[in-house]
Chain A
Amino acid sequence: MTLLFETLAWLNDSARWAGSNGITQRLLEHLAVTAGVVLVGAAIALPVGITVGHTHRGRTVVAALAGAARAIPTLGLLTILGLALGIGLQAPVLALIVLAVPSLLAGAYAGVENVSPATVDAARASGMSELQIIVLVELPLAAPIILGGVRAATLQVVATATLAAYVADVGLGRYLYAGLKTRDYPQMLAGAVLLMILALLLELLLSAVQRAGRRVASPSGSQLPHHA
C-alpha cells in the first residue's frame, strides 16, 4: 500500500511533468520515435507486401524472412546495434524497424491476397489497369487486415521503444532504468504504469481505426472479412 501511495505521489508531482526532461517531454519523445519507426517500416513493408499479395508471387520467401526476423530477440538486436553504432538513437530506431516490418508485411500480403480472385477478375474484365485494381479494389477490401498489421506493429514498437532507453536516453523507458539503478521502486512503478496506460490507449485507438477500416471494406455491413 505504501508503495502505491509513493508511486501516486511521484506521479502527482507537477515538477516532474514539466521541463525539457519532464514526463510530458519524454512521452512526446516516445510517441515521436514510435510514429517515425512505424512510418519508415510501412514505407518499406507495405509496397513489398502489396506487390506480393497482388502478384501471388514470392509469398514463401517473404513469409520465411518475416518469420526469421520475428524470431530474433529484440533486446539482442538492440544491444548488438548499440555496440556497433554507439550510444544514440540510430541503434534503437534500426532495431525497432526490424521489429515493425514483419507484422506490417504479413498484414499487407495477407490482406491483399485474401481479396476474392473473382472480384479482382471482375475489375480486370471491366477494364481497370493493374494499378487501378490495387488502389480502387484490393486496398479498400484489404484495409481491415492491413490496419491489423499496422496495429500490431505500432503496439510492438511502442512497447519495445521502452528498451530504447537502455542504449539511448530517450522515451519513457528512462524512468524504469533510472529506478532500477537507484532501487527507486516508486519511480520504476510510475514509469511502468505510464507505459501501460499509453499502450492500452493506443490499442483502443487503433482497434477503433481498424473497425473504421472494416466499414470501408464492407459499407453494407455484410460479408465481414473472416479474419478481420
Chain B
Amino acid sequence: MIWLVTGWPQAVQLALTHLALSLPAIILSVLIALPLGVLANRRPQFGGALLSSAGLLYAIPALPLLIIVPALLGIPLRSPVTMVVVLTVYGFALLVRSVADAFGAVDQTVRRAAVAIGHSPRAVFWQVELPLAVPVILSGVRVVVVSTIGLVTIGALVGISSLGTLFTDGFQRGIVEEVLTGMVLTVVLAMLLDTVVVIAGRILTPWTRASRPGREKADRHLTASAEVHR
C-alpha cells in the first residue's frame, strides 16, 4: 500500500488523461461508422468492399499502427492525436459492421408498412429504421468502448501517457502494486463507460424494456457477431 499513498494523485491524473484520449475516439468512430454503415447496408457491393477493408484495418496490430500513423500524417510520435487517430480507426472498423448488420436486421415488413402508411423515405429512416437498429448498434458501441479503453494503455510503450504508464513505470521500477492499480483502474473505467452506454441505450429505446425478446436478440448478436467476427 506504500505506492498507492504517494501514487494515487498521479493515478487519478492518468485516468483523466486516459478518458481524454478515449472519449473523442469513441465519439468519432460512432460519427464515422454510422453513415458508412448505413451506406454499406444500402449498397451491398460497396458494403462488401467496405466491410472487408474494415476487417483488414482491424487486423493491423496496435503498436505498429501507433508508429505508422505519425509517419503517414507527419505528426510527432508521442502526440495524443496519434492515439486518437489509431483508436478511431479500430473503433470505426469494429462499429461499421455492427451498423450495417443492425440496419440489415430491420424487419422488411415493418419498413414496407411504414412506406405504406405514407412515411417519406426520410421519415422511414429516422422514425422507423434507426430506432429499430439502435439496440444492435449499441451492442457494437459497448464492444468499442471496452476495447478502446484497453487499447489506450498500449500507447504507454511509445510514450503517450495513460493508465498504461502505470504498467511500464511499474514494470521498470518493479512495483507490482502500481501495475495492479493501473489494471484495476482500466477495468473500472471500461465498466463505468459501458454502464453509461447501457443507460443511454435504455433512454433511447424505452420500448425494449416492455419486450424482453428484443433485448435478448441484441445480446445474442453481441456474442455471435461482434465477439467472434469482430
Contact = CB atoms under 8 A, between A and B. Distances in A.
A73 interface: yes
B28 interface: no
A122 interface: no
B59 interface: yes
Contacts of A72: 150, 183, 187
B88 interface: no
A76 interface: yes
B154 interface: yes
A80 interface: yes
A180 B158 contact: yes
B130 interface: no
Contacts of A84: 176
Q: By DSSP majority rule, is chain A's interface helix, strand, loop, or mixed? A: helix
B55 A76 contact: no
A162 B12 CA distance: 28
B63 A76 contact: no
B174 to A, nearest CB: 6
B170 A79 contact: yes
A145 B153 contact: no
B91 interface: no
A207 to B, nearest CB: 7
A115 interface: no
Interface stretch (A19-27, A36-44, A187-195, A216-224): A187-195
B228 A176 contact: no
Interface residues of B, number: 44
Interface in A118-177: 145, 148-149, 152, 155, 158-160, 162-163, 166-167, 173, 176-177
A78 B168 CA distance: 10
A196 B64 contact: yes
Interface in B143-162: 146, 150, 153-154, 156-159
Contacts of A193: 64, 68
Given A79-B179, A80-B180, A155 B164 contact: no
B111 interface: no
A211 to B, nearest CB: 12
B60 A199 contact: yes
A209 B224 CA distance: 19
A195 B167 contact: no
Given A63-B223, A76-B182, A83 B171 contact: yes
A200 B59 contact: yes
Contact of B224 (A77, A78, A176, A227): A227
B229 interface: yes
7 pairs of A and B residues whose beta carbons are closest in the complex: A159-B61, A192-B64, A203-B59, A76-B183, A79-B171, A192-B67, A195-B64
26 contacts: A70-B146, A71-B150, A71-B190, A73-B187, A75-B167, A76-B164, A76-B167, A77-B183, A79-B168, A79-B170, A83-B179, A103-B228, A110-B224, A110-B227, A111-B228, A152-B229, A152-B230, A159-B63, A185-B71, A189-B68, A196-B65, A199-B59, A199-B61, A200-B56, A202-B59, A204-B56
Given A152-B228, A173-B63, A200-B60, 11 more contacts: A73-B153, A74-B150, A76-B179, A148-B229, A188-B67, A192-B63, A196-B60, A196-B65, A199-B59, A227-B225, A228-B229
Interface of B: 55-56, 59-65, 67-68, 71, 77, 146, 150, 153-154, 156-159, 163-164, 167-168, 170-171, 174, 176, 179-180, 182-183, 186-187, 190-191, 223-225, 227-230
Interface of A: 3-4, 63, 70-80, 82-84, 102-103, 106-107, 110-111, 114, 145, 148-149, 152, 155, 158-160, 162-163, 166-167, 173, 176-177, 180, 185, 188-189, 191-193, 195-196, 199-200, 202-204, 207, 227-228
